Amino acid sequence: MAAEWAGLDAKTRAALDGSGGLSPEQADHMIENVVGLHALPLGVAVNFVVNGREVLVPMAIEEPSVVAGASFMAKLARAGGGFVAHTTEPQMIGQMQILDVADPASARLALLEKKAHILDLANQIDPVIVKFGGGARDLEVRVMAQSPIGPFLVAHLIYDTRDAMGANAVNTACETLAPTIEQITGGRVHLRILSNLADRRLARARCVIPVSALEFGRDDPASRLYGGETVRDRIIEAYAFAAVDPYRAATHNKGIMNGVDAVVIATGNDWRAIEAGAHSYAARSGTYTSLSQWGKDAEGNLVGSLEMPMAVGIVGGATKVHPTAQAALKLMGVTNARELAEIIVSVGLAQNLAALRALATEGIQRGHMTLHARQVAIAAGAVGEQIEAVAGKLVAEKKVRVDRAEEILKGSA
Ligand code: NAD
C-alpha cells in the first residue's frame, strides 16, 4: 500500500520489501571481510506532515513500539498542522591541529590574514561540490592555551557540503590544505579530520498539539482516563526532569534517537556520526541536557521543539550504493539533503512525544510489553499463529519471559 501511495516502480518496491535490496556482491565492495548480510525490520511510519507535505517515513529498527509511536504522534501533530521544520546551510567543520608553533597568537593572525587564499585553495579540491553551490565558507582559528602538551592552534575550515554528508570531502580538503597551513604558521599540522559536532548544520522541528488531541485512555477500558490538559501538564513536567538532570536527559534523548536513527539507517546514512553530533550538542553548555523543549502556548496547546545537528546526505557513502537506501529516499520523495534532515528531525520530535506521553500517563511498559511479548514468544520457538497466542498469554499473566513462553509452548501450563 505504501509503495502504491508513493508511486514506486517494481525495483524500488523489491528493495524495500526484502525481495531485492543489497546483494552480497555489493556488500563485499562496501566493507572488508564480508561474509554475508545483516537484516533489520523496515517499517513505514504514517501520518507525517512536514512543512505541509504528506510523507511516508521508512524506519529501519529492531525495537518494537517505535514505528507505531512515531505514527501515532504524527497523527496528533497533524491535528495542529503537522511539523514545521527547517535547516541551516549544510556546513561542516574540518579541524586541523597545528603544533610546534613558536607564538600561537601571531600564527593565528597570520592564518586569518591569508583566509581568502586558503579558502580559494580549498575550493579547487572538489569542483563537483562547488558546482552544486557548496565549498569553503570560512576559516576560524582558536588558540588552545592549555592542554596536556601545552598550547597549540586549531583551525576550523567551514565547508558547505550541499547534498553530501561530507566527511570525505572535508577530510580531503583538510589534508590538502595542511602543507599551506604549515607554511603560513611555521608549525606542524597533526590531525586533519572533520568534527562530528556539526553545530553549523542544524535541523529544527516544532509542532503544536491541541489539548483535545491529548486525551488519553478513552478507547481502552483497561486504562485510566487522563484529560488533555492533564496529559499536557504531565508531559511538560516530564520534560522539565530531562532539562535539569543528565541521567534523565540521556534516556530522553535516546528516545529522540530511536526515531532519528531509524530513518538515518534506512537511508544509508552514518548513524554513529549523527549520534556523536546529537550527544555532543546536548552537552554544549557544559551540562548534558535535553535536545528538545516542551511547553504550552497562549491558547493552552502543547508545543514541542527539537534542534540538533543533522549531517545526512543523499549522495555519496552508502546512500548511493545501497539499493534500500535509494528506495527509502524515493519513498519519501526527498530531492535534497536538507529536506531529508527536516523529515528526520520531525520524526525525532514525534518519537520524543511518544515516549513522554506514555511515561507521563500509564508508563512505558504496558504498550511496549505487548509488542515485546511477540519477540519473546519467537525467541521461545513460537511460529505462525502460536506467536500471537503465546504473546497474549504472556501479557495477560504479566510474565513476559522466555522461560514462561517455553512452558506455554510445551503445553505444560
Ligand atoms: P562521498 O565522498 O562518497 O560523496 C560526496 C561527493 O559526491 C562530493 O565530494 C561530491 O564530489 C559528489 N557530489 C555529487 N553530487 C553532489 C551534491 N549534489 N552535493 C554534494 N556533493 C555531491 O561522501 P561524503 O558525504 O563526503 O562522506 C560520507 C562518508 O564518509 C560516510 O560513509 C561516512 O561514514 C564516512 N566518514 C565519516 C567520518 C566521520 O563522521 N567522522 C569520517 C570519515 C568517513
Q: pLDDT tens digit string along 346-355?
A: 999 999 999 9
In the reported structure, the alpha carbon of residue 84 is separated from the centroid of ligand 1 by a whole-number distance in angstroms of 27
Helix axes 337-360, 66-78, angle to 10 degrees: 100
Q: Rounded distance, CA 188 to CA 328, Å? A: 44
Query: Rounded to two decimals, what is the model's pTM?
Result: 0.93
Note if 279 is an active site residue: no
In the reported structure, the alpha carbon of residue 320 is separated from the centroid of ligand 1 by a whole-number distance in angstroms of 10
Query: Which phi and psi (to 5°) does residue 30 adopt?
Result: -85, -45
Q: Which atom of ligand 1 is nearest to the CA of 319?
A: 32
Note if 254 is an active site residue: yes
Residue 367 has pLDDT above 60, yes or no: yes
Q: Rounded distance, CA 312 to CA 270, Å? A: 7
Calculate the average pLDDT of the chain: 94
Q: Which of these, 330, 324, 328, 331, lies nearest to 27 by C-alpha position?
A: 324
pLDDT tens figures, 44-103: 999 999 999 999 999 999 999 999 999 999 999 999 999 999 999 999 999 999 999 999
Residue 219 has pLDDT above 90, yes or no: no
Q: Rounded distance, CA 233 to CA 34, Å? A: 51
Furthest-apart CA atoms within the chain: distance in Å: 81
In the reported structure, the alpha carbon of residue 319 is separated from the centroid of ligand 1 by a whole-number distance in angstroms of 9
Q: What angle do CA 18, 20, 23 make, to 5 degrees?
A: 110
Note if 75 is an active site residue: no
User: Helix, strand or coil for residue 356?
Assistant: helix
For the ranges 14-18, 95-99, 288-292, 310-314, the lowest mean pLDDT is seen at 14-18
Is 91-195 in CATH node 3.30.70.420? yes
Q: Of the residues 75, 86, 115, 254, which is catalytic? A: 254
Question: What is residue 88's predicted lDDT score, i.e. its pLDDT?
Answer: 98
User: Helix, strand or coil for residue 403?
Assistant: helix
Note if 368 is an active site residue: yes
Question: What is residue 369's predicted lDDT score, i.e. its pLDDT?
Answer: 77
Q: Indicate the top mutation candidate among 157, 168, 267, 275 to test ligand 1's pocket, ranked by most ligand atoms within 8 A of CB.
A: 168
In the reported structure, the alpha carbon of residue 173 is separated from the centroid of ligand 1 by a whole-number distance in angstroms of 12
Nearest CA to ligand 1 atom 35: 167
Q: Of the residues 126, 163, 261, 270, which is catalytic? A: 270
Nearest CA to ligand 1 atom 18: 163
* 48 close to 333: Cβ distance less than 8 angstroms: no
- Following DSSP, what letter does each residue of 91-140 receive, concatenated? EEEEEEEEES-S-HHHHHHHHHHTHHHHHHHHTTT-HHHHHTT-EEEEEE
- Helix, strand, coil percentages, rounded to 5, for the chain: 50, 20, 30
Q: Indicate the top mutation candidate among 30, 270, 312, 321 to test ligand 1's pocket, ranked by most ligand atoms within 8 A of CB.
A: 270
* Percentage of residues of the chain with pLDDT beyond 70: 97
Q: Which of these, 345, 294, 321, 283, lies nearest to 83 by C-alpha position?
A: 345
Nearest CA to ligand 1 atom 24: 166
* 211 close to 301: Cβ distance less than 8 angstroms: yes
Cα 71 to chain centroid distance, Å, stands at 16
Question: Ligand 1: which residues within 6 Å by Cβ?
Answer: 126, 128-129, 132, 134, 161-169, 171, 194, 196, 270, 273, 313, 315-318
pLDDT tens figures, 35-54: 999 999 999 999 999 999 99
- Under DSSP, the state recorded for 224 is P
Nearest CA to ligand 1 atom 1: 316
CATH class of 2-84+202-362: alpha beta
- Under DSSP, the state recorded for 73 is H
Nearest CA to ligand 1 atom 38: 167
pLDDT tens figures, 282-307: 999 999 999 999 999 999 999 999 99
Question: What is residue 364's predicted lDDT score, i.e. its pLDDT?
Answer: 72
So where are the chain's domains? 2-84+202-362, 91-195, 367-412
Q: Of the residues 114, 279, 368, 372, which is catalytic? A: 368
